[in-house]
Structure formats: C-alpha cells, structure tokens
C-alpha cells in the first residue's frame, strides 16, 4: 500500500505481471472494484494474496473502513472517497492448500486486521472437495491435496479466542447437469466443521460455481446447485464464477461468463438468466417439498415469504424429454391457484451470441389450476429450469 496509491491515474500505476493473463495491469484495482460494487449496490469481497505483509493489510483496512481523520482515511479522502467503504468481508487467498503454513499466515494477517475493524469477517480461501468427508482428520478427494482439517480447526480456535466469525469459501463444479460429487463433498465439509468447531462462529459459503462453458447445460447445473444449497439451508451465499466476460477474449479455459459484452452491447447467457430468475423471485423461508416417481427426473426447491402470501417453486428437468407432473399444494385456502411462470429451456449446448443475443431466453406465462382439480397438471420442458410464483 505504501508504494501504490490506489486511485492514481492508470498510466502511473505500477505494472503487474499477471498470473492468469500476461497483459494484466493495475488499470482495475481493488479500490476501483469497491467503488464499482458500491455504485451497483452490492457487497464487495476482495481477495488478497497470502503473502501480503501484516502492516500492509492493516493499512488497507484503515484505508477501506477507517475514519477520515486517520492516516489512511486521509489518503482515501485525497483519492476522492471521503466516506469509508464499509467493507464487511475480505478473503485471504483463493483455492489454497489450507494446511499448517496457511493457518500460520492467516493468524498473522488476521491479528493485524481485526483490531482495525471489530466487525470485519475474514474468509478462508479453501478449495474443492469431491468426496464425502466422513472423518475430519482422514479423507481423500481434496483438490488441494490435504487429507485433514487440522488447519481449519486451528483457524476456528483462533476465531473463538478472538471472538470473531470466520467463513470458509468452497468451490464446486457445474459443467453440466450430471450428478456432481462436489455437492456431497461441500455438505460433508460443513458437517465436519460443525463437529470440530467447539463453539467457534463460522459459515461455509460458495463463491464459485465453476465450468468450462456458458451454455444451457451450465445453466441447469447452476440451478441444481442452488436448489441443493437452498434445500440444505446452511450456506448463506452462493455465487457463480466469471460474471462478466468480454466476447471473444477468453484465453484461460474457463469460458463461463454469465454476462457477455463487447464495445456496443451486453447480453446474458443461459446461466445468467438462472441467476436473474432466482434473484427476482427470492423468498426467505424454506418449504418442505417432495417428488414421487422415477428417481433423478425432476429436482425442486420451494420457498415462501414471511407472511405466507407468496410461494415460489424452482424446478429443474435435466432430462431430454418433457415430464408431465401433477402438483399438490397443501395448506392453500383458495379454490383458484394461479402462478406466474418463467421457463428457460433449450438444447444443452445452446448459448447466446452477439448476433443472436436472445436465442435462449426465459419464456414468461401465467398458469392456472383447472377448476375442480385438487392436483394440478404441469408439463416441464426438456432441459429446463422453471420458476413458478404463486401469490
């Protein structure tokens, strides 16, 4: 921080030899990122390298959240942002090998940052677990190569000693709508932390659904992951990797943007529409829902509003044939049940392009239960994600 003024003119910023891109620069820095999120009304969660110095990290927290009369608050004000950014979360590393070396670095950095802000939540940049963890201290299947959660336990003990909350960021694969073992790994990781936390406050979050494509098959896989996470109810944040992607400029194999852009237009890809459909129909309370029939045919999650006046049903049909289903809604006091429906369906490899930005888009309609039918019929299209909103 002492050598890099965050809001310096871009042509005066120190060059950076990027790990992912040979032509990375400081033209888009962390302060720019926080301002973008602030303008968009969303939380910013920057991730820092584990090899940052404790003093630099303490200075950054003061720069982001300190009062205007502090040393780094005055620097922030001089950079054009007098008010604190009110940064709530900061991640240390990304897809790390969380072992004793990581835990030691985490402790040093945490003890430097926590005194600067009593409410800051630090996030452990964990990785992928593609096998269930039956024993927290003896398992396989971790992408990082670790076989024990001993380091995670050390971090939990540190958080408890300091009376702080910590989060653990796991990533899962959503390349297509096939059953994914990382779901079981994710939930069993959470179970394992609950067994070893000993009263420490923590959460598991998923900051990256990862895939090598941005097609309808990834849309369905993302929807399956979100349904599974919402049914479990313990993971408060789930997000898809690579939101923004310049058209034709992907060069790292992770061709998974939700929203594509070029100099003259922007357009959503199918997994972007899944995010949009779920977001604008969000309800806070989980509702019990069950399916009967052939296994792995339909996947669903149900939620309702706090006042009970709105029910949302999210249904994934990953198969290549339409599924005629019958819905029974217990507890409804109305003889007439209507729903607003959004339905996203298409070939698994279909995606939108600059020439055809609306090739795969949600279809909107209104559905009404036939008069006199206690059990209502609905046909879910092949390779579809459907949201039914009852009010």
Rounded CA separation 177/297 (Å): 12
What is the structure's pLDDT at 29? 82
Where does the pLDDT of residue 295 fall: very low under 50, low under 70, confident under 90, or very high at 90 and above? confident
What is the structure's pLDDT at 9? 73
User: Smallest Cα–Cα separation from 383: which of 186, 179, 255, 223?
Assistant: 223
Q: What is the domain partition of the chain in residue ranges?
A: 10-283, 299-390
Rounded CA separation 381/317 (Å): 7
For residue 109, the Cα-to-chain-centroid distance in whole angstroms is 24
Rounded CA separation 147/270 (Å): 36
pLDDT tens for residues 15-68?
766 666 666 666 778 898 999 999 999 999 999 999 999 999 999 999 999 999
User: Smallest Cα–Cα separation from 198: which of 228, 154, 167?
Assistant: 154
Architecture in CATH for domain 10-283: Alpha-Beta Barrel (3.20)
User: pTM for this one?
Assistant: 0.93
Phi and psi at residue 7, in whole multiples of 5°? -105, 25
What is the structure's pLDDT at 64? 97
Mean pLDDT of 76-103: 96
Query: Buried b / exposed e across 59-98, counting CB within 10 Å, b at 16+?
Result: bbbbbbbbeeebebbebbeeeebeebbebebbbbbbbbeb
Looking at 11-15, 154-158, 232-236, which range is the least confident one? 11-15
What is the structure's pLDDT at 294? 86
What is the structure's pLDDT at 96? 97
What is the structure's pLDDT at 14? 72
- Using the predicted structure, report yes or no on whether residue 6 has a pLDDT greater than 60: no
pLDDT tens for residues 110-165?
999 999 999 999 999 999 999 999 999 999 999 999 999 999 999 999 999 999 99
The number of beta carbons lying within 10 Å of the beta carbon of residue 106 is: 24
According to CATH, the superfamily of the domain at 299-390 is: Golgi alpha-mannosidase II (2.60.40.1180)
pLDDT tens for residues 183-216?
999 999 999 999 999 999 999 999 999 999 999 9
Rounded CA separation 350/373 (Å): 36
For residue 383, the Cα-to-chain-centroid distance in whole angstroms is 23
What is the structure's pLDDT at 252? 76
pLDDT tens for residues 314-337?
999 999 999 999 888 877 655 567
């Amino acid at each position: 921080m002492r050598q890099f003024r965050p809001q310096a003119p871009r042509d005066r910023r120190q060059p950076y030899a990027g790990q992912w891109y040979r032509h990375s620069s400081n033209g888009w820095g962390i302060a720019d990122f926080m301002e973008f999120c602030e303008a968009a009304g969303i939380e910013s969660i920057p991730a820092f390298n584990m090899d940052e110095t404790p003093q630099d990290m303490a200075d950054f927290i003061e720069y982001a959240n300190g009062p205007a009369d502090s040393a780094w608050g005055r620097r922030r004000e001089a950079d054009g942002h007098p008010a604190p950014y009110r940064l709530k979360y900061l991640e240390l590393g990304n897809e790390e090998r969380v072992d004793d070396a990581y835990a030691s670095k985490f402790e040093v950095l945490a003890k430097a940052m926590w005194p600067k802000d009593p409410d800051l939540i630090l996030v452990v940049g964990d990785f992928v677990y593609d096998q269930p963890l039956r024993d927290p201290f003896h398992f396989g299947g971790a992408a990082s190569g670790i076989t024990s959660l001993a380091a995670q336990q050390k971090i939990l003990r540190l958080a408890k000693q300091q009376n702080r909350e910590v989060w653990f960021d796991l990533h899962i694969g959503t390349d297509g709508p096939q059953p994914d073992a990382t779901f079981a790994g994710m939930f069993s990781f959470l179970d394992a932390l609950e067994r070893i936390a000993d009263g420490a406050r923590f959460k598991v979050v998923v900051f990256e659904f990862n895939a090598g494509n941005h097609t309808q098959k990834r849309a369905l896989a993302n929807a399956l992951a979100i349904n599974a996470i919402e049914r479990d109810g313990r993971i408060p944040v789930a997000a898809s990797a690579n939101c923004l992607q310049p058209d034709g400029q992907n060069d790292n194999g992770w061709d998974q943007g939700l929203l594509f852009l070029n100099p003259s237009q922007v357009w959503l890809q199918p997994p972007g529409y899944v995010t949009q459909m779920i977001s604008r129909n969000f309800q806070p309370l989980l509702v019990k829902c069950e399916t009967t029939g052939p296994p792995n045919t339909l996947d669903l999650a149900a939620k309702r509003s706090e006042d009970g006046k709105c029910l949302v049903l999210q249904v994934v049909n990953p198969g290549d044939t339409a599924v005629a289903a019958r819905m029974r809604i217990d507890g409804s006091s109305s003889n007439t049940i209507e729903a607003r429906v959004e339905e996203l369906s298409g070939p698994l490899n279909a995606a939108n392009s600059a020439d055809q930005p609306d090739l795969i888009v949600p279809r909107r309609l209104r559905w009404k239960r036939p008069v006199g039918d206690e059990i209502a019929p609905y046909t879910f299209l092949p390779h579809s994600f459907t949201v039914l909103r009852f009010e």
